[in-house]
Amino acid sequence: MKLLITRPLPDPVMAAARARFDVTARANTLPLTQDELRASLRDYDIVLPTLRDLYSAQVFADVAQPRAKLLANFGVGFNHIDVAAARAAGVQVTNTPGAVTDATADIALMLILMTARRAAEGERLVRAGLWEGWHPTQMLGTHVSGKTLGIIGMGRIGKAIARRAHHGFGMEILYHNRSATDPGLPARAAPLEQVMAADFVVVAVPGGPATRHLINAEALACMKPHGLFINIARGDVVDEAALAKALQSRQIAGAGLDVYEHEPTIHPDLLPLDTVTLLPHLGTATLEVRTAMGLMALDNVFAFAEGRPLPNPV
């Protein structure tokens, strides 16, 4: 069977794939072009795509009878794939849940700490040669321990963030979730507007039409003036223009972002703000995690090739 891997993946993943399949591996780190998207459905039995490989309804409409019968997505998020259109075309879709949980939760806590303690701003100060030495009122930030954390989306990643914040920093946890859940620790479910009023707010919901611009001007208006906002979910969950205005007007104190609405383009009004920590989508960027993600994607590929039930269908 012919397998297309759309981006470079860690060596153990590539070796495992090549041991079982006729593999074509793109060396390009950019997403598939429109022509490549259509060719992938026509020319391969299985495709292993990832973030920003945009399999829209139009792509499936243009390939009436795709040879490919599985998109084994590398990543837990799959809002770049129109799953309904894929199913209508006879193409199954899988993802890699679980493998990304701890690494993404770690990034959320890192952004909380970096933003609260002005770490990125301080590092820029040192590198610029402008630091004049310690003094009692230099770069005073926000204390994290014992504060209230609001988590929007209490799935695997939300719960992992809650554990770290509660057990590591003694934070009180509020959360908003679309369905009833057991957080596994002391936490209180609350309406979105109440969760947005926490000292720190972290968004950990899936991307897609249902959550696009969930965090808009109205939601941001519920935050406290000292509130810090963190996004490790999907960029389009947040109306970046509204977030920039809230930061510029000091309606909220700061933000930490690992994902962006029009990635890799950053809203220009965010770039000059020292109150914002900006990371280049590092959520799962460790060799161990990316290898585990790739091997999980291949578990789905192997199951498909062998006619077994898919481990992680979406």
Hey, which residues are catalytic here?
234, 263, 281
**64 CB burial (10 A radius; 0-12, 13-18, 19+):** exposed
